Structure 1
């Protein structure tokens, strides 16, 4: 056991020795880059069986609970090295042994094991051991682990030259997976190699604390060295950097990154690209203008630079690099730069209007500065070093926005389906350029595409287009146009459609319509040859023929026409009608034609003309001529059909030889049939019944002899039958049917008709009180213009029945309303009538005259047109005119408004009044009331109390309207002027005076009652002279406040006296007397007059005039 213990102690010492140094210094950089952690150390394991053989033994190592090592060796020390990416948090070491049992054969003896968990601490020795007790199964173990991070260090990839600018920070970037306390940054300004070692040695110093314990930092040379002056001394020289971790126990470096050298140099000014003017249109050559802005002018002396460039110290610009951002590809050309950039930027910090030739698409660009810095090294030699230009602010990044090429293509098109229609649709999709877009269609005025959007902002939609070619010139907001190969390229779209309309090519030709050959025959045809439109295939169309009653015709034959592409639609079995032929093509386009098939007029027998048979065989013909009983003829007249005609005659039920002539002769009575046949075999049948004339009959009438004329006998031959006209022959030699002047005796007459048939007859003449009106009752008409008048007569005398005829005043025979044989006539209007009485004798008629009376016409005194002004009404009182009548006042709708004799209307409308008196007579009148928007105000001043035989002045207060005084009949109007009136009352009593006003068709009357009495003041005397001297008498003003003027004009000179009394007859002030004169102007001021109404009385000679005066305060 002593040996084993010594072994473990030696192992521990060796481990401590090893862990005291940087364990990563000799690890390859690629391994560091590909792994994050390095675990080194070893484990020991020894088990014994106490004299028995071990039958089972093993040990395992777990990192983060995942097995990393398994071993069955015993009595060993196993050195370990692991590279690990996952952060190691725990290490577990396990072991187990078992010895054989007592039979030393089965492995069922006692055992021993261990399970040691270890929490990982970075850069710290992790160590433990245990020694077995040596009894039975005994197990000893030990472990030593050291875990370090594998650091790497780099600067930005952009800092390809590995520069450290003096005053611009560059990044130092370590691996980013570690805890912050594992990051420590060191720098060195010197490097040397020991002669006995392959290792370089550096004068490492920690960076300031603000840069520690961070995964990445940014530093400048000034940050590292502490001052700008010291940093400038290091221009051209390297400064070395590394990131390390320190041992937790010793503080020494336990892990380090590779050494990163950065050369100190001057940073170029920052660059900014401003005022970018991108191209407006996308063309073959696109240019943009920019301003290049530097953060400062170049460092250096302009004077030295101009004087001796070879000795110049400072910054120098070699040019600008113009590339696409993020790429090394050249961005284009730069124009407009100064010839000598260094000289320019020693004086300026910007350049305006730099022209860039750019790509034809929107591109991100970058302009970099290319330059050097000239300095003196430690030996005084002039050296140069590139300026640091790798900072983001050294990259003048910007974007030149080039519009997408303006383009447009046909998104959708809908051709016209039918010839001549305007339903075409064009939808163009527009892209690129700068919206909004405009288009010019076929040279028309430009239109904003926005006005036609139906989809979104990039679509132009046009509808209702006729067929044709449409050329669209499209421009954007900047008037850019669509270019193809550098040439303006409009969009051309053709809206198609049928070249020709659907047409019936044989319309109007002989073969188009075959008319019916006969009346009501259905042998007509329509043969339509169709072209045009869009056939269903190479030639077919859909046709439909409809009769005028709506019925569709199905008798159709379809085929082709004589020419290619012609379609034949043949409809047959057609009768006369106007048909509608509808033709549809593949697109549903329609041609509709009205086609009329005619037919000949119906073949009819227009007439059968007959020459009648002369005489009836039953006549007793004194001449005994039988041929005149069988001399009839028939002639048929046909019309319609299609001439020429053929004829076939037959006689019904009696023997007759068939005849084919138009006229047949020598006919006796019977029924004859004729068949007329036209050129198309249409037939018409007619019959004619040929009859004998009626037998010739003769009767002779005679007149009675009158008392007044004994030789006034008359006889009349009355003939019937035969064939008029007749001829007469009397035995007296007379040849008329009627003979006169006959005396009593026997007379013979022979009558012959027009066809020579004759008969004879004889007559014997053998050998006659006055009409009187006994009473007359005349009933007058009840109502005015009524028709219930009546005349009733009682007659006596006369021969036989007496006929009474009535005539009106105009001599017109009255045929209605008579009864009792005309003796009574009723239903008469007022007027004069004549009665004519005729008996059965030949005496002259008797005439009598009668008159039917009526009441006077009732007149309703209401105007037909009435106008009322605002707020007014119009009243009517018909009680006096119609004392016992009933009344109905209605409006235009017939609604009953009143049944009283008085009625007031205040609204516009149409009105009607119906009056029915006690007899039931009605009278009605209508009147229309209009509403004016004017206000009619009517008023006047008049003394309420006055004296008769005094002149009283009435003063109208309605000055702007027409007025009319309404005076009782007994009141005398002396004078009327300017709306005022002067009147006199003959006696004492009450008088109603009115003033009627008129305005805009309105009228309104205001009435006032005046009391007229004897002169209580004794001013005038009854029966004095009534000479009118006062021409004018006025009170100014009236009303007033007690101060007023009285003006008087007389017709001749006279003294005057003026009184003023109140309504009780008391004098208000003493009478005023004025000497003789004709004109007076009397001022009066009496403020003590109380408010109220007064009478002002003027006396001039024997004339007196009174006026009413109103005083207001």
Structure 2
């Protein structure tokens, strides 16, 4: 740590008489409870110098020279409190007097108004402990310190020692700390001092103990130590114990690649007394505070650790060598043919971390792949680069891929065949290149030939030379005569299904002029053969040289006409709104339709049809026709029947039980008649005399109408205590009226029809309790009428039914 503290000055370690004689503790303030809590005492800790010009530069601690304070009691700090004397502003004491008695560290400075610049390093954790508990301890290799840089030279400036409190001054004391506690404390400080203010006379004074207990004796208090002091009451961190130092290998990092110098060692130690220094190599004279050694090659290294008591432990450590990346490449498949670019190189790699990828030299490393087989290679030289997971590389020797020569075919002579289909023509050919000449074969029109000349039939050919690798070269097109005979036969189908009016035609070309044509045993002239039934025919043609050719053609049957009908029946019995739609498939071209085989039209729909059986005809463009039958059906006639009962019941209790047959369910009912207009029930009850009309509508909207007469023989009605009899009722128009219970006097009457129209009125003279008269309605239409009478102010009425 001391090496870090003196960055701004040049120091020399000299064999000097110590200029700091010790550390003293003086009482500064005893609390009476008015400013800070009662029971607390404020102490000042001083470094005692020999001369007034001695300058205290730093208070420090590290692994070799620990620094610490141990407190038995509570430490006092106000809020917010201060850690160092250079932070204190006395102007605040009037408002906050307790600030004057905080606990802090310093070198000479009681406040920010004192001269000097107090710095610190490595004390954050220690000061946090001190503020919380009053105790702290620093013994790590880096250490910590609070320090001042020397501001002036006393030999040059006579007032220097008076201006800066870091000098011993007139009282030969330099303030190091202010501690306020309600208990006791001890501490051990290590000081750096410039004797007489001369930086060249640098002195380290270590292990200075102090306490607010005047009877404290400092020394080694560990009985196991070789320097144990039985009189010591407080330990000064100077104990020298038996060696228990062990070197620990924490980590070995191998170099990334073979030959690299980025390996490292990390070593630590246990059981060290004081500092621990680490050495790499048996001749290492510059120890390290930490056992981290970098930038190492693979190999064996001597490492040693030494603690503050002179104990040592050492080992030889091996940094393993990383296996070198090696790669070999071989041509596993040469380029098969000229410019086929199908060569294959296989790489075999080893070493590194084993995770190898490959690419070709000259290409971007971004193309590297774990696949070690490279295909579809063109001619050239290839060097394979192998790369492991750490970026270590190795390269193969170059592998050459050669392009084989192209195969060239040379035709030296040809001769025609006698006939186009006789293989007695010749081609004389040779080939060079590829694997020629011993491994060349020739292919002509799909056939392989081992040697030349090649016997061939007539046609246009090219000769393909093929070597053992399947590489090819071809000649230009060769024409070997004569031209083949082309029969050019064709057939026309029969006009209608199964007729015998098909034909075969021919138009031969090629060969030698003067053709003879045969079909079966018949030798034919002209260019066609007509009147043929359906079937296959072989047309043979022979030219003037006796060369022949044949062709088979088929006279096809005409597609049969397949006709169908779709019938829409009339909705009602007796209607003529039926429709038959005729459609057809097959045949030739479009169709026309007829219902009499005489007049044809484009439409296959026939309407306004009544029930019955019909025959329709379909004709195609060839005049072929087919007939078919369709049946138009109608619903059964809608018939209404019913039972009327008015003979054995009283007036007003008649009924009609109606029945419906035929038509198409469901049925809907509509009645008209006395007291029933608009009723939709199928049957009626509680009827009086009259004519009742029922109209029935079925599900297709078809209707039927039926009338029912409800007649009561010798109708008698008791109306308002009058017994009225009508004879006959119904009648053909003449009614005999008789009633009993009359009161005498005039009787007013009128007669109204079924819709309430008055057709007759008058006055009858009633002279007795019984009365008879005749009403004649023969001039009126049949129907129900009502006779209304008023006798003695009492109204009465009776129904009159006129029927033929």
Q: Give the alignment's TM-score, normalised by structure 1.
A: 0.18
For the pair shown, the structure with the greater C-alpha radius of gyration is 1
Higher relative contact order (CA 8 A, sep 6+): 2
